Structures are given as C-alpha cells and as structure tokens.
Amino acid sequence: MKSNYTKTIDFENVLIFLFIFFLIFTNNYFGEFNINPSATSSHYYLQIASSFPNIVEFNDNSQTYIHAERFLISYLIGCFSNLLNIKVFYIFCLFSYTLTALLLLINVKILNSLLVNCNDKIIFYALIIFNPYIYRYHLSNPVMLNDLIFYLGISVLFLSFIKKKNSLFYMSIIFLIISRQTSLIIIIALLIHLLAPFKKDFIEYKKVTFSLLIFLVNYLIAQYYLNSADISTFYDSTIFGLIQYIKTDVNYLILIKFVLYPLLTYGPILIFILILIFKRNLTYKYDEKNIFFIIVILGIFAQPLIAGPLIAGKNIIRLSSFAYFISIFLICLNLDNLKAFSKKLKIVFISLIVLWSMHPTFSKINILHHLG
C-alpha cells in the first residue's frame, strides 16, 4: 500500500496538471498580426529577427534604442529562422512555449527543495502558476521572449543559491544580461552584497568579476549593433521620468494609481503574507539568500517607479512582476509552517488565486474586465 506521503505527492502532481490544463485552455493567444497593446515590444523584436543577417532600420528614438540594445536574442531567432526556413514568428513560439514549460519545471523544483517537510505546497503551486502577468502573458505573447528569458534567469539564479552550484549561477547571469537591461540591478546587488560586512557563503569575487565581464561584453556587442543601425538617442527619460513628472505637472491621483498598479500582480501574495504574519508563521532568517534577493526585489521595483507614470505607465505591472517568483521563494525560506490555513481556507484562497488570474486580455474568462 502507498504511504500517506506518496499519496500526497500523487495528489499534488494531479492538481499541478489540472492547474496547467485549466491555464492553457482558458488563455487567449495572439498571432503575428494581432499583437495586443501590452506587448508592443514584439514589433521591435519581430523586425530585428526578420532583418537577419542584416541590421534593422529603425527611426532614432529612445524606444528603438532600448529594444535594439536587446537585439541579441531576437537576432538569434532570425538566425534559426533562416537555417530552418521557418517563419520567424513560429520560431518565437517554439522557443517561448518550450521555455515557459522549462520555467515552470524549475520553479516547481525550487518549491520542492524549499518545502521538503510541507504537506501544503499546493498554495505555492497555485501562486506560481496563476499569475495574470506571467505564464498567461507569455502564452498570449510568444514574441516577448526577452522577458521570459529574464524570468528564467532569475529562477535559475535562485536555484544556484539553494543548490550552491556555480554552473547554474554563471548560466543565470548570461540569461539575465542578454535578455534585459534590468540585469544591471543584479550586478548592483552583487556588488552591494560583496562589499557588505557579513558572511558570504556563495557570492565571491570571481562570480562578481564574471558578471561584470559578461555585462561589459554584452554592452560592447549591443553598442556595435546600435552604431551599425545608426541609433544614438539614449533613454535618459526612463531614468529621470518620475523627477521630471513631479517637477512639471504632477497629478497625485494618477501618481497614486501608478504606484498601486503592482497590486494587480502581487495582491494574492500580500494577502498570503498578511495571514502568515497574523498567525506568526513567518520568521525572518538573516542569511545570504534573504539579504541578496531582498536587494534584487527592491531594485526591480525601483526601476519602473523612477521612470514615472508617463514613461512606465501600466508597464509597471509587467516590470515589477520580474520579482514575483523570488518573492514567493523568500516566503518559503522564512516559513515556519502553514497551520494558519485550514482545509476550507486553502480552498477559498486557491479559488481566489485562480479568479485573480483571469486577466481581461490574456484570459478567455474576463471576470476582471474592469481592471484592464
């Protein structure tokens, strides 16, 4: 006869399968010619990929600078498209859906590593799968491969810390740096962490040196591409946007709404944390992983905030979501137990998480259409 532990594992696997099945069949999918407004970067990535082996012709402005600076992944997609004689959009789909599955597997692996003695992992599985701006978003928008690879890099980075594997660390740094300029936050966090006066178990000088070297190489390659494309208008407005907005014509109602937008992705996590704190089920552990990834989370939130409502706009939801998975992992690191959740409360909370994921654009079930 099967033990209770084995039965629990089997039940969890069945629920994960049902979660994924529900997500896939309730999701919307957009094609090459009906890209939705939340993924306008797709137009740039498609043009870069389609231009291979030539250099793309863009107008010289800050938006083209941002996207051309991230050209490498799209350019490689164009290379595969040429080699295989398959349309660029379908190559994007192939990579996007494959990496989405890989990201889910890695995140489940991380949860299982962090919650070895926890019999109620299903709440965490639900939080991981049913975010309206991650898996749903990337199933709908397969051309947004850079963002997806950044998520993958963040998760592999966390996995490298808990497994203490240098190879995973180096791999994650490459993923992060070639995918988005947000990787600069990781570099800054590494430097702060290295210089801070506390014990380091995993971060060391050679890892920081490697990260800086990869960042420099990627920067030089991107600059070569930008110069070849004759693009030079820098995006300084995205760095100082909030200051300019406050100095010129600030609307505090718009500003408050802007700051609260991340609640659309983090709402269930905040509710979860409040319950755990109220029931005293969280205990902060002063260790390397906690400190490093808290710095990363703060940096990821700071990036769209300092850009301000006119520059970042609703993109603050997507950009702040880059810290979503590591926020869940940090909860796991500091979790005592889940006694706060009775069976009835778990059902209610998981139902809330599922309903929360019904994004008006990415889901076929538009429960939250008024939040669009």
pLDDT for position 1: 45
Contact 297, 186 (CB under 8 A): no
pLDDT for position 371: 45
pLDDT for position 13: 78
pLDDT for position 86: 93
pLDDT for position 366: 67
pLDDT for position 180: 93
Contact 310, 245 (CB under 8 A): yes
Q: How far is CA 219 from CA 68, 188, 212, 300, in A?
A: 12, 16, 10, 20
Task: Report angle CA 352, 126, 16 to the nearest 5 degrees.
Answer: 130
Which tens digit of pLDDT belongs to each residue from 317-342?
Answer: 999 999 999 999 999 988 877 666 77
Which tens digit of pLDDT belongs to each residue from 104-156?
Answer: 999 999 999 998 777 678 899 999 999 999 999 999 999 999 999 999 999 99
Contact 160, 169 (CB under 8 A): yes
Beta-bridge partners for 148: none
Q: Where are the domains of the chain?
A: 4-371
pLDDT for position 144: 95
Contact 190, 207 (CB under 8 A): yes
Beta-bridge partners for 41: none
pLDDT for position 3: 54
pLDDT for position 94: 96
pLDDT for position 80: 95
Beta-carbon contacts of 271 under 8 Å, excluding residues fewer than 6 positions away, are 349, 352
pTM for this predicted structure: 0.93
pLDDT for position 372: 43
Ranges of residues in the chain with a pLDDT under 70 are 1-11, 119, 235-239, 338-340, 366-372
